[in-house]
């Protein structure tokens, strides 16, 4: 749990750093009203994992391994986007879409990774309820986010 909390915190710091630099260079943020819902969702997911999972239970090794594979894929996404990676919808006029790394094959690889993280980690500890509830809410929010992001990218 400490790993996840530190990881999410580090990602927010990195995202905020990139966002500030992009905005300073003339980028614009789009559709920011939904953003707090992501913060609430991820915070509640982590709190649920901490409060409702019996940490004395041995997790399913295969799912923990899969979760850590997802972390390497997440790092690949971050390294591929570099200074353009942010948790917000930011667009800098004149930039082209990234078409390398995982973006060579998928339009939104980070969202696929997050979908599976939210599903797999609770399942590793036999917490079907947390897995189902947060996967449903995350899916709804991600589908909305992808539609907003695609509209911005369509006009870029």
Domain that holds residue 106: 28-154
Q: Is residue 149 part of a domain?
A: yes
Structural domain total, the chain = 1
CA dist., res. 156 & res. 137, Å (int)? 29
Torsion of CA 33, 117, 7, 19, to 10 degrees: -30
The pLDDT-based confidence of 155 (bands split at 50, 70, 90) is low
pLDDT in tens, 106-124: 999 999 999 999 999 999 9
Q: Is residue 14 part of a domain?
A: no
pLDDT in tens, 35-68: 999 999 999 999 999 999 988 889 999 999 999 9
CA dist., res. 7 & res. 10, Å (int)? 5
Q: Is residue 3 part of a domain?
A: no
Q: Which two tokens stand for residue 135?
A: 């996967």
Q: Is residue 5 part of a domain?
A: no
Q: Is residue 39 part of a domain?
A: yes
Q: Is residue 109 part of a domain?
A: yes
Q: Is residue 83 part of a domain?
A: yes
Q: Is residue 45 part of a domain?
A: yes
CA angle 66, 74, 41 (to 5 degrees): 90
Q: Find the DSSP H helices in the chain.
A: 2-24, 35-52, 61-81, 109-124, 128-154
Q: What is the DSSP string of 105-134?
A: T-S-HHHHHHHHHHHHHHHHTT-HHHHHHH
Average of per-residue pLDDT across 73-100: 95
- Which pLDDT value is given to residue 137? 98
């Amino acid at each position: 749990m400490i790993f996840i909390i530190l990881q999410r915190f580090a990602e927010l710091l990195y995202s905020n750093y990139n966002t500030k630099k992009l905005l300073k260079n003339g980028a614009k943020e789009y559709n920011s009203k939904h953003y707090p819902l992501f913060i609430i969702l991820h915070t509640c997911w982590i709190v649920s994992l901490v409060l409702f999972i019996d940490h004395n239970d041995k997790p399913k090794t295969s799912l923990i391994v899969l979760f850590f594979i997802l972390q390497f894929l997440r790092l690949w996404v971050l390294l591929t986007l570099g200074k353009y990676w942010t948790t917000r919808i930011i667009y800098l006029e004149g930039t082209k879409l990234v078409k390398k790394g995982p973006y060579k094959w998928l339009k939104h690889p980070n969202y696929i990774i997050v979908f599976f993280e939210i599903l797999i980690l609770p399942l590793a500890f036999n917490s079907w309820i947390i897995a189902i509830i947060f996967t449903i809410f995350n899916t709804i929010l991600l589908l909305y986010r992808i539609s907003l992001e695609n509209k911005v990218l369509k006009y870029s």
